[in-house]
Amino acid sequence: MRHHPKYMPALFSSARVMAQTLTQQVKIIYSKDVPVIKQRRHYCGWWLFVFFIPVILFMTSGVKAGEDPLYPASAGEIVEDPLGNLGLDVAEAVEEPLNLVLYRTVFVIGDPLRLPSDVAVDGKGKIYILDGTANTVRIYDHNGKPLSTVGDKETLNLPLGLDVSPAGDVLVADSGNHRIVLFPAKQGAPEFFDLPTPPGGKATDPTDVVFGQQLKKFFVVDNDNHRVIALDMKGKILWSSGKMGRNPEEFRFPFMLDKDNKDNLYIVEVVNTRIQVLNKDGAHLKFIGDWGIEKGQFFRPKGIAVSENNELLVSDSYLGIIQVFTHGGTFIGAVGDEAGNLRKFTTPIGMTVSGDRLFVIEMYTNRLIVLEREGP
């Protein structure tokens, strides 16, 4: 079966187009990029399967690129593969040549990682990889040599996101335990910050966390409650922003976040397929990107990293690419390799930038890829 992710909902002109759209929404909502850590079951009820799936299977079976007027053959053929990436040459899918930001491979860290989800780097260049299914943070030196670990099944339960201070304090979004855990750099006892359930909401579901600029507070993504929370270093909630929706200060299953040097927050919304930017007080500033496969659009965004010069890098776990934007949200290009080709990743999730180096977690290949930028 072949599906077409490039469409305009306002132009539904046939039952087949509507069926294709419903199929894509199911694939986005029922995300399979985090199969062991988190199986999402969002707002799509069983009625969809009972009444619409037989119609979708019948009407989209055997459809080829070019048959649909909203997806011309010249844009390329979309074929889903078992890893959840698309067999799509993104460089051919856009009408204009795709600008590339070139990176060379420095080294790769693999074993013993099992479905890692996030990465961070401290002020000395040490690398921290969140190995969520092992409930462990693995620490390496700047050349990828193993050093130590923090966390175990007694302190963490399927964590998803982390951040590290310049001094090496490790902050972990402990999803399964509905809390944040701080592992001090001086190897003291971990500190636990329980996150209370909001009135009328679900149990708090932290999927990512980031230190504030002055290390006096931290920011948390609460995925299931569609919000972002700011807390001081004693765990007191300073503010909460968000509810389910598509308007400013509304989210649909936010997943990862990062900050710039002014504590503006850049939050990845998987289902809304965009980046929402909030200021340090939780007020909406702007949106970046929308749904699609053209330059500057997202199909299934997951990770985000803000560089020291405030460039934004966004990973798309389905298309297997990383796009680069200016601080204001203008598309710069996609990450390429040293040979000048578009670099394709396998389920890129968490990322971070340190100097000229880009650190990318590939969840399904159980590895971290360390890249170094070539040129401006």
Sorting pLDDT into bands at 50, 70 and 90, what band is 375?
Answer: confident
Q: What is the distance of C-alpha 106 from the center of its chain?
A: 23
Asked which of 40-49, 91-100, 252-261 is least confident by mean pLDDT, the reply is: 40-49
DSSP bridge partners of 373: 103
pLDDT of residue 188: 86
How far is residue 103's CA from residue 90's CA, in Å, rounded to a whole number? 18
Q: Determine what percent of the chain is predicted with pLDDT higher than 90.
A: 71
How far is residue 254's CA from residue 245's CA, in Å, rounded to a whole number? 11
Sorting pLDDT into bands at 50, 70 and 90, what band is 215?
Answer: confident
Higher pLDDT, 295 or 63: 295
Residue 193 pLDDT exceeds 60: yes
> Is 227 within 8 Å of 242 (Cβ atoms)?
yes
Mean pLDDT confidence for 363-374: 97
Sorting pLDDT into bands at 50, 70 and 90, what band is 186?
Answer: confident
Mean pLDDT confidence for 182-202: 94
- For domain 100-373, the CATH architecture is 6 Propeller (2.120)
Residue 254 pLDDT exceeds 90: yes
The mean pLDDT value of the chain amounts to 81
Encode burial over 198-220: b for 16+ CB neighbours within 10 A, e otherwise. beeeeebbbbbbbbbeeeebbbb
Mean pLDDT confidence for 68-79: 30
DSSP bridge partners of 274: 269
DSSP bridge partners of 266: 258, 277
Q: Measuring CA to CA, which residue among 172, 173, 119 is closest to residue 144?
A: 119
> Is 324 within 8 Å of 289 (Cβ atoms)?
no
Radius of gyration of the chain (CA): 20
Tokens 């890129």 belong to which residue? 348
How many of the other CB atoms lie within 10 Å of CB of 369? 23
pLDDT of residue 16: 36
- Comma-separated ranges of CATH 2.120.10.30 domains in the chain: 100-373
Residue 257 pLDDT exceeds 90: yes
Residue 118 pLDDT exceeds 70: yes
Sorting pLDDT into bands at 50, 70 and 90, what band is 202?
Answer: very high
Residue 23 pLDDT exceeds 90: no
Pairing mode of beta strands 357-362, 367-373: antiparallel
How far is residue 374's CA from residue 358's CA, in Å, rounded to a whole number? 11
pLDDT of residue 187: 79
Residue 160 pLDDT exceeds 90: yes
Sorting pLDDT into bands at 50, 70 and 90, what band is 221?
Answer: very high
Pairing mode of beta strands 191-194, 179-183: antiparallel
Helix (H, G, I), strand (E, B) or coil at 22: helix
Residue 284 pLDDT exceeds 50: yes
Q: Measuring CA to CA, which residue among 68, 71, 89, 95 is closest to residue 14?
A: 68
Mean pLDDT confidence for 190-207: 96
Residue 27 pLDDT exceeds 50: no
pLDDT of residue 26: 39
Mean pLDDT confidence for 131-155: 96
Mean pLDDT confidence for 21-46: 40
Mean pLDDT confidence for 105-111: 96
Sorting pLDDT into bands at 50, 70 and 90, what band is 93?
Answer: low
Asked which of 25-34, 317-326, 347-356 is least confident by mean pLDDT, the reply is: 25-34
Q: Measuring CA to CA, which residue among 77, 67, 59 is closest to residue 20?
A: 59
